[in-house]
């Protein structure tokens, strides 16, 4: 009888801990959303859910389709053919947090990173990429396009610190399509 009570108590504790953990994660996601909104507002950006038909973005505009999706703005149109699934891309980027004093990492030039990061479009699980980047590449469409994106944690990298923290990142990102 005592064993049953102990097991029941342990099950109750584990259940409470799991509920508390999920509540904290939900709260973290809500805080992340507010952090992104505050960043955009305090920097004078507006957000639209309509992608500009001519792909020309006014200087202060971000595109955001749905909840949990990336915030996107095309800074420079690319050239060449539209990318397709399986294309190999060489990527350069600058990553930063969106805090008051951002932490910035740059992989934009060969001085920052001798060899560019190579990814495969639509294969972000097995290359150095993430779902948010993949979504951005699709909207960028062509080599040498440049975009600024904000990637919420659920669309970001699933390794290292991004896996254990709910942190949005902003990227200035460009790519070249490698020959097939």
Maximum Cα–Cα distance for the chain, whole Å? 74
Angle of CA points 130, 72, 62, to nearest 5°: 155
CA dihedral of 54, 118, 99, 51, whole degrees rounded to 10 = 20
Q: How confident is the model at residue 164 (pLDDT cuts 50, 70, 90)?
A: low
Average pLDDT estimate for 98-105: 90
For residue 176, list its beta bridge partners.
90
Taking all residues of the chain, what is their mean pLDDT, rounded to a whole number?
A: 84
CA-based nearest residue to 136, from 57, 56, 64: 64
Q: How confident is the model at residue 65 (pLDDT cuts 50, 70, 90)?
A: confident
Average pLDDT estimate for 31-38: 94
> From CA 81, how far away is CA 141, in angstroms rounded?
8
SS3 (DSSP) at 77: coil
Task: Characterize the bridge pairing of strands 46-48 and 61-64.
Answer: parallel
Average pLDDT estimate for 114-118: 84
Distances from the Cα of 125 to the Cαs of 26, 86, 156, 158, 160, in angstroms? 24, 13, 11, 9, 14
Q: CA-based Rg of the chain, rounded to a whole angstrom?
A: 20
Higher-pLDDT residue of 111, 98: 98
Whose tokens are 């030039």? That residue is 109
Q: Residue 64: count other Cβ atoms within 10 Å of its Cβ.
A: 16
Average pLDDT estimate for 54-69: 88
Element (H, E) at 40: helix 2-42
Segments in 43-172 forming alpha helices (H): 131-140, 160-164
pLDDT value of residue 18: 47
């Amino acid at each position: 009888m005592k064993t049953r009570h102990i097991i029941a108590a342990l099950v109750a504790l584990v259940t409470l801990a799991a509920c508390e953990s999920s509540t904290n994660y939900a709260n973290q996601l809500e805080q992340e959303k507010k952090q992104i909104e505050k960043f955009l507002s305090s920097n004078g950006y507006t957000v639209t859910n309509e992608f500009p038909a001519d792909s020309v973005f006014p200087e202060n505009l971000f595109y955001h389709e749905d909840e949990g999706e990336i915030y996107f703005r095309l800074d420079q149109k690319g050239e060449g053919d539209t990318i397709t699934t399986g294309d190999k891309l060489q990527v350069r980027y600058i990553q930063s947090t969106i805090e008051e004093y951002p932490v910035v990492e740059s992989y934009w030039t060969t001085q920052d990173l001798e060899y560019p990061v190579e990814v495969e479009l639509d294969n972000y699980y097995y290359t150095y990429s993430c779902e948010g980047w993949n979504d951005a590449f699709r909207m960028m469409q062509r080599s040498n396009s440049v975009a600024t994106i904000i990637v919420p944690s659920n669309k970001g990298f699933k390794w290292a610190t991004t896996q254990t923290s709910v942190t949005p990142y902003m990227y200035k990102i460009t790519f070249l399509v490698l020959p097939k």
